[in-house]
Amino acid sequence: MKLPLDFYLRRNVVTIAKQLLGKGLFTKIDGQITGGMIVETEAYSYKEKGCHAHNGMTKRNEIMFADGGVAYVYLCYGIHHLFNVVTNNKDIPHAILVRALEPLKGIEGMLLRTNKEKLDFSLTKGPGNVSKALGIQTKHTGISLLSKELYIADDGTNYTNKQIVASPRIGVDYAGKDAELKYRFYIKGNLYVSGKSK
DNA sequence: CGACCGATCGTCT
DNA sequence: GACGATCGGTCGA
């Protein structure tokens, strides 16, 4: 079952970021489904400096100002396509960066996209790797998360606060004080969470 | 291990 | 013209 639109339209981006843990993120490209379970997310709100939309709308972040339930994909460092979930209602730019998955489906296809020989933790660990493995690119910006090509599924898995770790976000030093916000969430002990042993 | 570095380009100032 | 919501490799201790 795909997550319903209502899921994304709620106000509290932190709540949604936590609830996305355990959900399935999949793409269907050229008839092949690839994807896995979300194990790590980061919340971004226009109210804090870490967020691309903090200083208002630009060409790049325009889609964050749309109603939730769509994808925001942008190019980072000229190399990596980073995938975000847009949440909240029109004109209230919130987004959730998906930082890591546990591979579930189409592993062969994901290995091909990433030029890997066999499955290891690096396949879908880290936001750049997630997008590469699933074939997500900036052209997918604006696509509905209930679409056929790109969607988030709910198999009923929910994690409790006890199983979720909150920590500061990665790579947002430029946000000053807001870099300290514990807006990064991951499933405790999951081996695909970024930043641990390779 | 940790620190550093190169790749690579669209976006914003 | 500078700089990333990154990654993987290399180098030195």
Instruction: Determine contact, residues A113/A133, Cβ cutoff 8 Å.
Output: yes
Chain segment A4-25, per-residue pLDDT in tens: 999 999 999 999 999 999 999 9
C9 C1' – A95 CA distance, angstroms?
Answer: 32
Residue numbers 50-69 of A with CB closer than 7 A to any atom of strand B: 55, 58-61
Note the pLDDT tens digit of each residue in A107-138: 999 999 999 999 999 999 999 999 999 999 99
Nearest residue for C3, CA–C1': A77
For residue A66, the 8-state DSSP code is S
CA distances from A74 to A93, A144, A146 (A): 15, 16, 20
Q: Which tens digits make up the pLDDT trace of A43-73?
A: 999 999 999 999 999 999 999 999 999 999 9
What is the nearest nucleotide to A57, using C1' and CA? B12
Between CA A25 and C1' C5 the distance (Å) reads 19
Residues 6+ apart with CB under 8 A from A67: A8, A9, A86, A89, A90
pLDDT over 90 percentage in chain A? 98
Residue with CA nearest to B9's C1' atom: A78
d(CA A55, CA A19): 27
Please give the model's pTM, rounded to 2 decimal places.
0.96
